[in-house]
Structure 1
Amino acid sequence: MTAPYTGRCNCGAVTVEIAAEPVTTRQCWCHQCQKAAAGGPTHNAIFPTDAVVIAGERGEYVYIAASGNTLTQEFCLACGSPVLGRSSARPQFRTIRFGMLDGNHGLRPQMAIWTDDAPTWAMIDPALERWPQQPPAPAPSSQD
């Protein structure tokens, strides 16, 4: 599948429409993501903020991440589904959880990040680029 992407939370109260391709996709093994993903990694697509339209009531959890950045995790207030993440260091991007996207979106992680935090039993695809901690920000697209 290619843009536009659409999605919804488990109960349908929060919806997303995305009018661009992701600038990158990542599997994140940081401790905060492991908590959000019931022990495994989160799987995320990073899109330009101006390409993402979200509707529906969301809650948020704000914290200082190991990277030193302030992160905000948004979730559906009705069903608790993770919706997105945003970083104070990168306001030009929204990190959408793969599970938020509809159908067979065709996205897969291009890299695994924060692999130093992965549990010893983690199965990380050897074909993925790996970062032991925070990678550099995605390069700006030609539209930025």
Structure 2
Amino acid sequence: MATGECNCGAVAFKIEAQLSDVFICHCSICRRSTGSGGIAVSIVDNDSFSWIRGKGNIKYWSKPGHDWHTSFCSNCGSPLPGKNNESNMYVPVGTLTSGDEKLKIAHHIWINSKADWEEICGSGKQHSEGFGD
């Protein structure tokens, strides 16, 4: 099991599954959303994810004309888990407070969109676009 929360603690969640793979998205949307080189997430089944507290503090923003959105705490702005597709969630691994001991970067996605100043290190597989390429 893993747990996580935002910076101010208003929103918390738990995951009833073992986490292992980390995906780092380097696209321009994720860079602007986080103010960094991208976002590191783990993907979990909807059935293993639940909110502990603060669901009313979650805000969403969708990029117009895209099927992309981000979730964040309305109090502190921390990125929060959100819908990846109909069957699973993405969880920003920087929000985890426990259960991250076995996490390993497995994939770097959208590297064709990464910032010029960013250098990708480590052994994670690099994908020029999304995970399927």
- For residue 29 of structure 1, what is the amino acid of its counterpart? H
Structure 1 residues 126 and 8, CA gap change in structure 2 (3 angstroms) = closer
CA contact (8 A) 1:71 1:85 kept: no
Q: How does 1:1-144 map to 2 (within 5 A)?
A: 4-22=1-19, 24-54=21-51, 55-56=53-54, 57-63=57-63, 70-87=67-84, 90-103=85-98, 105-106=100-101, 107-136=103-132
Structure 1 residues 64 and 108, CA gap change in structure 2 (3 angstroms) = farther
Structure 1: 4+ residue segments shifted above 3 A: none
- For residue 96 of structure 2, what is the amino acid of its counterpart? L
CA contact (8 A) 1:21 1:47 kept: no
- For residue 52 of structure 1, what is the amino acid of its counterpart? F
TM-score (norm 2): 0.86
Give 1:122 deviation, angstroms.
1.1
- For residue 90 of structure 2, what is the amino acid of its counterpart? T
Structure 1 residues 58 and 21, CA gap change in structure 2 (3 angstroms) = same
Higher relative contact order at CA 8 Å, sep ≥6: structure 1 or structure 2?
A: 2
Q: Unmatched 5+ residue regions in structure 2?
A: none
Secondary structure in structure 2 of the residue aligned to 1:34: helix
Q: Unmatched 5+ residue regions in structure 1?
A: 137-144
Q: Deviations over 1:79-137 (max 9, x none)?
A: 110002324xx21110000111005722232110000011122121251101111123x
Count of residues in Structure 1 that have an aligned counterpart in Structure 2: 129
Structure 1 residues 108 and 37, CA gap change in structure 2 (3 angstroms) = farther
